[in-house]
Structure 1
Amino acid sequence: MTEHKLEILLDVAETGNMSETGRKFYISPSSVSQIITGMEKQYGILLFDRSKQPLTLTPSGLRLCSYARQILSLYREMESSLGAGQGRSFRLGSSFSIASTFISPCILEFQKEAGSEIEIDLTINHHDKLQQQLLSYELDLAAMPLPANENPLLTSIPLFRDPVSLCCHVSHPFANRSCVQLSELVDQKITVPPRSSNIREAFEQVIRKNGVVLEQVFTSNGQAAIKDLVLRNQTISLLSLILTQENIRQGQLAMVKLEGFNYEREFGFLYRKDTNISPQLERFIRFCLEKRGQIVDLKYLL
């Protein structure tokens, strides 16, 4: 069993299509089929249910794929630790919400300080997908909102809290106010995230509790898209500090306290409990914590 064959197995498991895997690895579909068949003969098991399209893993196939991910992860860790890189690379995931505002700037500053020879493979995805990638050994570490879905195989390191407040353009009448009453939103155009958003859920709870009925409520996907509308002074909204802090410094936006609305998101690092934290990965975690003003002894966390 070689690394190459394990990678092909995992790709077929992901795509459910041998032709697609063949194109990715520049081999024919028949060669992919021969590799899979060879594994099945070697272990005397059936890996895929070929009666269905796309191909689906059998219980034995699921077990082998789980082992394959662990083997490849350990192999790459060994290569990184003992090879030319000497542990100077790791795989980092980030949720969309802090990828551009925090994680990417941290990576740039960290590499300037630590040296460009340290390679960080960054994956940006939704937090549920990042958790799946952690569990399947595809990532070493992920930055995302906490608390994540509880899983006994994962553990977290708190990073920072991100308050959410009423945000408006600096020319808006609310901009110079210290606090806005809920009743004052009635004749305002306000844009909120989709109903699946925790921010929207918290906002609607406050509105219902206080019996306020809003006439002009609009929905937009993603806080970045909503921020663009606020920057054009086309709406007001509930936005996070980390998303808007640069615009506030530049005198473009203002954050105002909204009566009765107290909400903040917590972000942190998530990783598998059995992950071998390399010195460079620990150094990066420490760098990010110190950037947020958190000086901690990581030996109590890792």
Structure 2
Amino acid sequence: MSTENHYIGRFAPSPSGPLHFGSLIAALGSYLQARSQQGSWLVRMEDLDPPREMPGAADDILRTLEAYGLKWDGTVMYQSQRHDAYLAQINDWLRNQEAYYCQCTRKQIKLAGGYYPGTCRELNQHATNSAVRLKVTTPVTHFYDKLHGQIEIPGPLAREDFIIHRRDGLFAYNLAVVLDDIEQGITEIVRGADLIEPTGRQISLYRLLQHPEVSYLHLPLAVTDNGSKLSKQNHAPAIDKANPKPALLQAMTFLGMNPPADLMACSLDDILKWGAQHWHVDQLPKTTAITLAF
């Protein structure tokens, strides 16, 4: 299939636990945005951080998506199978002096004001016990979001040389997500508003790689009454695989849609078809967080 002018979206969960309602919002929003444009919807498993992963969570997430009728296109990509691609790009930047080894600790950066000041940029540090940072020569100070409009990025954050390979040997999220989105041909990223902040760094990677930039749509986050994001780390309850319709319709309502009551009697396929037909970005709540009563 030619991807020219073809919409390709994706849902990219981390397997640190089962899908919860906040995850469902991100999955459903990205799914409906893709299907409303007759586009493809891919799934990528961001199993980049083994210490945070839960055994069996990746398969459980896929089974949950299936139980909710969220059928993906193609095969699932796993970041754990992409290490060679990440390392090859890092080594290329190191050879071209576009990246460098850094031995600064978090404590040292905090004492320097909270943003990395470029301490190791010209020191030619050795690789042992070092992180790798990318030289930021053209900071991205703003970008356009389809829901929130122009997003301004604080100057110190935009100018900061950021980590692409961690001291503990793990690959950084910003590097992996951009290389994977390029590999999968993603044209638009629909995800939660908690990922607005790193977007500027990801755009800088697209530009360094001389690849066309994607568009962005950051959905509101579901938060508890104390302001905490629903997350696996905060022990958000798993959504029910055996009875998916109530949570699916609740997620549609959360996203500004008004599903009729009689949809509850319809099949999952018909509910999702209704969702794709009635999905409009301009009906989304123009906020970064919405409080849920749990």
TM bin, normalised by shorter chain, reads under 0.3
Larger Rg: 1
User: Going by fraction, where is strand more abundant, 1 or 2?
Assistant: 1
TM-score normalised to structure 1 length: 0.22
Name the structure where helix makes up a greater proportion of residues: 1
Greater RCO between the two (CA within 8 Å, min separation 6)? 2
